[in-house]
Amino acid sequence: MATTDLRLDFCQTIAQQAGELAVKMRQQSGANFIANKGHQDFVTEADQAVERFIRERIDAQFPNEAIVGEEEGVTGQSDTCWVIDPIDGTANYMRGLPEWAISIACVQNDRITHAVLDLPDIGKAASAQIGCGAFVNGKKLQVSNTQTPAKSMIILGHSDRLPLKTHLSAIDDLLSAGFEYRRQGSACFGLFSVAAGWAEAYHELHLNPWDAFAGMLLITEAGGTVTSKPVAEFLKSGSAFTATNGQIKLPMLDF
């Protein structure tokens, strides 16, 4: 069983409640439920409501700590910072596809110390505490031991913040080296896939901290490796990002 403390118990509870709220709001959605932030970039009433819910719970339990969220940005200033994505994979969530997640991570003195990914549509709740391992539904997570490209699945992320040719180049590099790949539309779901041993790596040329931090701790506590900027820098500006099972080498790594 997972070793827990107050913060991890808290993360698990509010992530589960946030997931239940998101599912309920999708079931009850009306005409104004979905809005556009940009081209193929959506926000729902649930994204905003779930983030407010999580922020309110954190403020009530840990009132002097900072929060960074996708929808409302940065509030507070502290050596302890909560990094949250209320719904990662909104385009999937709003269409009823299962690849989306609630992501909550706690950063203390520039180290990610606690993390939860709740994946309501597939009934998975994953958590990690630094130095204590990673677990899903009470069972220990372990990255895969696959060592060869011919048996490896790579999850690719894509961002409109970067030229399309960089994403296409990554696909070409992977296929030429013998790897298979998928694009799931949710970094959090992809990182969980690596931690769970479903895939051997996740790669994206620019990832925001709220998409990455919870999954980063899950992967490292499950025995994998992460290549990115240091946490403090990542928190400020995002980062190029690769996580692997520690057994394979991707052909496009150049940072």
DSSP state of 161: T
- How do residues 135-169 score in pLDDT, each as one tens digit? 999 999 999 999 999 999 999 998 777 788 888 98
- How do residues 180-223 score in pLDDT, each as one tens digit? 999 999 999 999 999 999 999 999 999 999 999 999 999 999 99
What domains, with CATH codes, occur in the chain? 6-140 (3.30.540.10), 149-244 (3.40.190.80)
Residue 2's pLDDT band (boundaries 50, 70, 90)? very low
What percentage of the chain carries pLDDT values higher than 90? 80
- How do residues 44-71 score in pLDDT, each as one tens digit? 899 999 999 999 999 999 999 999 998 8
Q: Return the higher-pLDDT residue of 228 and 39.
A: 228
Q: Where are the alpha helices (DSSP H) in the chain?
A: 6-27, 45-61, 90-95, 164-176, 187-195, 209-221, 231-237
Instruction: Report whether pLDDT(15) > 80.
Output: yes
Residue 181 near residue 214, CB atoms below 8 Å: no
Residue 39: predicted pLDDT: 59
Instruction: Report whether pLDDT(125) > 70.
Output: yes
Residue 118's pLDDT band (boundaries 50, 70, 90)? very high
Residue 117: predicted pLDDT: 98
What DSSP line would sit under 108-151, residue for residue?
ETTEEEEEEEEEGGGTEEEEEETTS-EEETTEE--------GGG
What is the spatial distance between Cα 122 and Cα 62, in angstroms, rounded to a whole number?
30
Residue 16's pLDDT band (boundaries 50, 70, 90)? very high
What is the spatial distance between Cα 255 and Cα 108, in angstroms, rounded to a whole number?
26
Residue 29: predicted pLDDT: 78
Instruction: Report whether pLDDT(7) > 90.
Output: yes
pTM as predicted: 0.92
